[in-house]
Amino acid sequence: MYKIYIVEDDRGIADGITTCLKTWGMEGRVVSDFMKVIEEIDEYEPHLIILDITLPYMGGFHWCQEIRKKSSVPIIFISSAADNMNIVMAVNMGADDFIAKPFDQSVLIAKVSALLRRTYDFSQSSSTVEVCGAVLNMNNNTLSYDGKEIDLARNEYKILLTLVQNKNKVVSREKLMEALWETDCYVDENTLTVNVGRLRKTLESIGLKDIIKTKFGVGYILED
């Protein structure tokens, strides 16, 4: 059973999400101490986190950053502050999706289910693929190069995998967005650009510099 950790200070919304998750065969746990979010995550080990932006003490962006320091667990932001700036900030912090309040519970369940399926179906594979002298492990979303290994965030992994699968071919921005979210509900040009930028910085951190080229007006290409 998939476990979902809910960081939401409106108890009515949080309980409604928990009930809905239970109906669909998933387990939901609501945060009990807003000062101990990381400790509760470590204890619960959720498969996915639903995170509000506006919270007591520390905001959702803070907790997203803290989570990403140690985990690539999928994160969905839910917030009534659904302007483009907050959406881009959420993605830049490492979130995987964003749902504006108020939302229909069927939309939430659809997004949660799709994200769980994409994340954990891929994790069942034990295969690896070589890219530019590095090894991408599709079992644990890691990349090894020159004796160093890094964990890739879900979106970084999906972008890199899509580019690797189309190595030496230009991949359109539309195809990358489809690979990331399988929807056009909230994706825009800025969110994709932010994600590609984050992946480039991650690759550079282990010595893989400039392997992703931009084809302006078209998309991106990974040249081996």
List pLDDT tens digits, range 158-181: 899 889 888 888 999 888 888 776
Same fold, 3-122 and 128-222: no
Q: Which fold has domain 3-122?
A: Rossmann fold (3.40.50)
Question: Of 31-45, 104-118, 197-211, which range is least confident?
Answer: 104-118
Q: Which CATH class is domain 128-222?
A: mainly alpha
List pLDDT tens digits, range 61-88: 999 999 998 888 999 999 887 667 888 8
Check: CB of residue 161 under 8 Å from CB of residue 136: yes
Q: Which of 113, 107, 20 is CA-nearest to residue 99?
A: 107
Domain ranges of the chain: 3-122, 128-222
Whether residue 30 is predicted with pLDDT greater than 90 in this model: the reply is yes
Rounded Cα–Cα distance for residues 134 and 149 (Å): 9
**Higher confidence at residue 145 or residue 122?**
145
| pTM of this prediction exceeds 0.75 | no
